[in-house]
Amino acid sequence: MPEGLLFIFSRNIKIIFSDIKIHHTVFALPFAVMSAFLASEGSPRWSILMWIFFAMFGARNAAMGFNRIVDSKIDKLNPRTKDRALPAGKLSVNSYWFFLFVSSALFVFSAFQLNQLAFMLSPVALIIVFGYSFAKRFTSLSHLWLGFAISIAPIGAWVAVREEISIESLVLGAAVVFWLVGFDIIYSCMDIDFDRKNNLYSIPQKFGITTALRFSFYSHCIMVCFLLALLYLSVLGVVYLFGVIVVGGLLFYEHSLVGPGDLSNVNKAFFNINGLISVLLMVFVIIDCTLY
């Protein structure tokens, strides 16, 4: 590749990765990893973990790329998002479409490398994650759609290991759904005025911040219930139980950071706490699966 093209390519990739917040992969990836360990009842093969990682990387990048393309006009109107790459003119839409195509191809190819069921379900997964970008235009349950999209991570990882969809993976997926719903509602509180002005739908927009935060808390309580239910369906034991208790404490702390009259700590609650929750829970699952 000529030096000039290489520079443009590396610059564009750097802009895109910053724009889609590549570090937010920490939300879903740990749940895929813990699901793989659960499905293996121990340590999965490194080759499977590698292809799961590539699949997650491709799917997440494709979903975020599609979201940035579809929402570029809306993002330009929102003070919080107007500096994103497309509305700010930092990148052409063709560059994003190319990134989307390559990321989707990586996801489908990785699924092909895993097994036949994973490959057959890969287009369905892409339709689900792409569909989220339109949900906010017609339903206040867009948070639920996003949670369902992210729950593909643990369910898909189970398919990658065992080539089946099990009750265990569905329970872990349900926990992810309500975890995501809870913290996405908190994050959406920052856009309540913009959503109302532009006919976009969310729980805060429909019910107000006070009720929305209550829904968020209930969602996280349901998440903990599903995590506890996993104890009775899998090989997990006391180490995992301790991890669930820690997660419950972190969720309670997250809700203590935000209130109807103070949203200044939303970003801290959104990323720092939830990133820690997913990583810690993964660590406790791995320890429980490998040492006992």
Q: Which residue ranges form the domains of the chain, and what is each CATH number?
A: 28-291 (1.10.357.140)
Token digits of residue 194: 């913009």
* pLDDT the model gives residue 86: 94
pLDDT over threshold 60, residue 3: no
> Percent of the chain scored above 90 by pLDDT?
78
233 CB-contact burial (10 Å; exposed 0-12 / middle 13-18 / buried 19+): middle
| Higher per-residue confidence, 1 vs 108 | 108
| Higher per-residue confidence, 12 vs 244 | 244
Tell me if 92 sits within 8 A of 140, measured CB to CB.
Answer: no
Average pLDDT over residues 228-256: 92
Report the candidate in 284, 223, 291 with the shortest Cα–Cα distance to residue 255. Answer: 223
> Percent of the chain scored above 70 by pLDDT?
97
* pLDDT the model gives residue 33: 96
pLDDT over threshold 70, residue 124: yes
Mean pLDDT of the chain: 92
Report the candidate in 198, 186, 196, 182 with the shortest Cα–Cα distance to residue 144. Answer: 182
Lowest mean pLDDT among 21-25, 133-137, 149-153: 21-25
Element housing 157 (H / E): helix 152-162
Give the angle 175-81-267 at the CA atoms, nearest 5°: 45
* pLDDT the model gives residue 2: 53
Average pLDDT over residues 162-190: 95
Question: Would you tell me the crossing angle of helices 93-114 and 46-70 to the nearest 10 degrees?
Answer: 150
* pLDDT the model gives residue 292: 65
Token digits of residue 211: 């009720």
Report the candidate in 63, 65, 69, 61 with the shortest Cα–Cα distance to residue 86. Answer: 69
Average pLDDT over residues 59-70: 95
pLDDT over threshold 50, residue 158: yes
